[in-house]
Chains A and B, each alone.
Chain A
Amino acid sequence: MTDVKCQISGTVWQVLVEVGQQVSEEEDLLILESMKMEIPVSAPRDGVVKEILVSPSQTVQDGQVLLRLE
């Protein structure tokens, strides 16, 4: 299991994947917004989306777990 964490404080703009989806390394999983900028969060490795812990327009903090890969 790999936790995908937020690197920056901001809000969630788009969640691009669904639970159960196979993703490959560097694929964008979701897009955050901070300071009027879009910041894509990509998969650190190949895997399957196990759990998504955030939803669009939710505020997120630096270090917060956004989703889990298996």
Chain B
Amino acid sequence: MINLTINNTKVSVTEGTSVLKAAEKLGIEIPTMCFLEGLTNHPSCMLCLVKDKKNGNLQPSCALPASEGMEIITDDNEIHHARKEALELLLSDHVGDCEAPCRPSCPANMNIPLMNRLIAEGRFHEALKVVKEEIALPLILGYICPAPCEKACRRTQVDEAVSICSLKKNVAIDDIENEIQYLPEKEPASGKNVAIIGTGPAGLSCAYYLLLHGHNCVLFDKNNEAGGTLRYDIPDDKLPKSALDAEIEIIKKYGAEFKLNTDITKEKFNSEILLDFDAVVLAMGNFDDSNLSSFGFESTDHGLQINRNTFEVNDTGIFACGNIIRSRRMAVTSVAQGKAAAYSVHQYLNGIAPERKKRMFNSKFGKLFEEEIPEYKKETIPDARINLPVGKLDNFSKEQAITEASRCMHCDCRKPTTCKLRIFADEYEADRKKFLFGERKKIKKYFQHDIIVYEPEKCIRCNMCVEITAKEKDTVGFSSIGRGFIVEINMPLNRSIKELLNATAIKCAEECPTGAISLK
């Protein structure tokens, strides 16, 4: 047995054990991307660097054999920095999007490509579920959203954007036309009561997600009908009142209580609201129009002063969202804020200091080169955008919706939650732009295989697939081609990926640490 210490804890292992495995024995997890039991594990990613305390050298723990008397540190500032830099170098050479460009451009961060794919498969109900994860009022937004997502859509480089906004409306209509509308299962009831003042897009959205989190909601509005600006500022020929009523009805059905014709004065706020509710969300629209000035809250040039990350007005359970904090033109922003405020309220009610829901690390490369357009067209249909005669007031037929959704080019990664590069980049807060000054490589996509898709520009050259295919003697196998910076993993002698691998296809896709090899 070999005795060593890892992070000052003694451990004994058999000869030939790597430091990585020795650490595992102590329950110490060291990040790796290119390690797989049973392969030669020739170090590549360098994420598993650890420090030899005796000489200060950093060495990859996956290939470092434990030796007698060794003293290893698995994490300190220097190691952390080196790992982060390794990730940043890899990211500088990783051409691929974690999220399709449309998604981050949506203020509500809706998973657009997934919705598109479900629609394309005719699975409208599942598509609606995806939409409602991020957007409480898809029908309303389907009429009035200026659709920044469509401006970001990559399809604009081919012809015209996918009609994302209308597709979203279509799935909402599909839901409303059903006998029973989709109401997601609520989290266990908390018994907490939240007052939401104002029933515009922010208030309604906030209510929906608070209900989802298991809290009771009472919405107050000075008007005799709910909807705020949606009802009183937007003309009928833009947003039919029926659509507004339909979605308010869903929120009511979900459990929200509406107290209309109720003007919240300073006295009422202090004597009733603050006493009767565990938290309050101020969502009564433009600050100037509200009578909040007298409440004594701090304000800025453009609205009520809040903590921009958590939407807290102060730390006593008062939150604010929507136009009251800053007047914006887009309802989708208010809807997004309502959702974010609900999340903060939820944390507050659980006794946790609110924190903004962090969006996961996102690798992105921007516009396509001309020669990349054909690569992206491989995964879509050539049809032109279906432009409806009366624009947003009109709806697609089911067939039209399927065709339109099939125009989506699947810009998002196939492994958004399992890609190790993304997971660690997120964990180490890597800056993807730090070393981004070379000419970026051009994207190629290989679809010929029945099971997998290969996107070499996402590869980190760990060589695991080369070894897996060689070890299992799979037909031809991946080859490591060239050397130096330009080394690539690809098909030998320009063989088709179809002949390349057979038995190991699934294993390669599963073990590939990035989205380079993924299941179709």
Tell me, yes or no, whether A binds B.
no
